[in-house]
Structure 1
Amino acid sequence: MNFLPLLAIAAGVAISLQATLNARLGVLIDSALLSTGFAFSVGALICWITVFASGQLTISSVQLARAPIYLYLSGGVLGAAGIGLLYFLIPKIGIGPMTVFSLGGQLIVATTASHFGWFDLPQSPITPVKLLGMATLIVGVVLTNSEVLYAH
């Protein structure tokens, strides 16, 4: 049995719980930005401990030089911006709407990136079925979040 989809679901659960907890921290300390800083600091510490414990720190300067500098920087910048926005928006619109909206954005970018094979991804062309799925998702976003979208 392929457990990868279950791991992906577990990742989604972890991200939703993490975002909810850190958004609450941001409310209690009155700073979504500081909450983001704490989350990334603890996450970085856990990652470095895991790297050391797993023995994966054995990397050469040649290996490090293979990747362009933007790949070292862009993930952290985009991650901090995306996660910071989650922490800021969750207390304002709720975890459900935030998750649905963010998943919509992820699906649009992922489908486009797969279609064009950006970043050496396997190419998967946009098909009429995929377009129908994306349209259905957009309708779902509107229906799921009508109180957020149309609140006065």
Structure 2
Amino acid sequence: MNNSSLLLLSFSVGILVVIQGGINARLGILLNNTLLATTAALVMSASFTLIAVFMTVRELPSIDQIQSIPTYMWFTGGALSFLAVTLFYYIIPRIGISTAVIFGLSGQIIFAAIASHFGWFGMPMEPMTIKKVMGMIVMTLGVILIKY
């Protein structure tokens, strides 16, 4: 997949996050419980993921591969997903989907720039540049203009 396609796909993912956040936050309101909405969303997500795995995975990892993965990696991603999704569904009805997404996206962009600068999580390093810092400052000003 070429870079333009990946950028368009990333943009589309942003749209999907807003749609699912709105739907599942509303589900939490209707169920009168954010955790029930999170449970429904994550159970359905796991179900769709299993279907995709059964349809596409041709070879499972070896026992050696599985054993070589640090234990924390098996749990941390799921715990962070649970926390992020639950908080998103809790926050949206209280401050609105636009505000929740704008501030959440700002946090993602700023933290991603820091994490990529240092190569955290085993990801490729992308140095922090003046251009990136200026972009984050402009983004922050944009968030302030949108919100206030």
- TM-score of the alignment, normalized to the shorter chain, above 0.5: yes
Matches for 1:24-43 after TM superposition, within 5 Å = 24-43=26-45
Shift of 1:56: 4.1
1:66 and 2:68 correspond: yes
Distance 1:118 1:56 in 2: 30
Partner of 1:55: 57
Residue-by-residue CA offset, 1:36-86 (whole Å, 9 max, x unaligned): 111001000110111112134622211212221111111111111111111
Name the amino acid aligned to 1:108.
Answer: I
Partner of 2:91: 89
Task: Rate the CA distance shift 1:44–1:116 in 2: closer, same or farther, 3 A.
Answer: same
Q: Structure 2: which 5+ residue stretches go unaligned?
A: none
After TM superposition, the structure 1 stretch with the greater mean CA deviation from structure 2, 114-123 or 50-59, is 50-59
1:51–1:57 Cα contact (<8 Å) kept: no
Partner of 2:107: 105
Task: Rate the CA distance shift 1:77–1:57 in 2: closer, same or farther, 3 A.
Answer: farther
Residue-by-residue CA offset, 1:114-150 (whole Å, 9 max, x unaligned): 100112211111111111111111111112112xxxx
Scaled by the length of structure 1, the TM-score of the pair is: 0.91
After TM superposition, the structure 1 stretch with the greater mean CA deviation from structure 2, 37-46 or 122-131, is 122-131
Distance 1:66 1:109 in 2: 28
Task: Rate the CA distance shift 1:23–1:17 in 2: closer, same or farther, 3 A.
Answer: same
Partner of 1:116: 118
Scaled by the length of structure 2, the TM-score of the pair is: 0.93
After the TM superposition, which segments of 4 or more aligned residues of structure 1 sit over 6 Å from their partners? none
Pairing partner for 1:45 from 44, 47, 52: 47
Partner of 1:149: none
Distance 2:59 2:85 in 1: 27
Partner of 2:80: 78
Task: Rate the CA distance shift 1:30–1:137 in 2: closer, same or farther, 3 A.
Answer: same
Matched residue count: 146
Shift of 1:109: 1.1
What is the percentage of aligned positions where both structures have the same residue? 38
Pairing partner for 2:127 from 118, 125, 128: 125
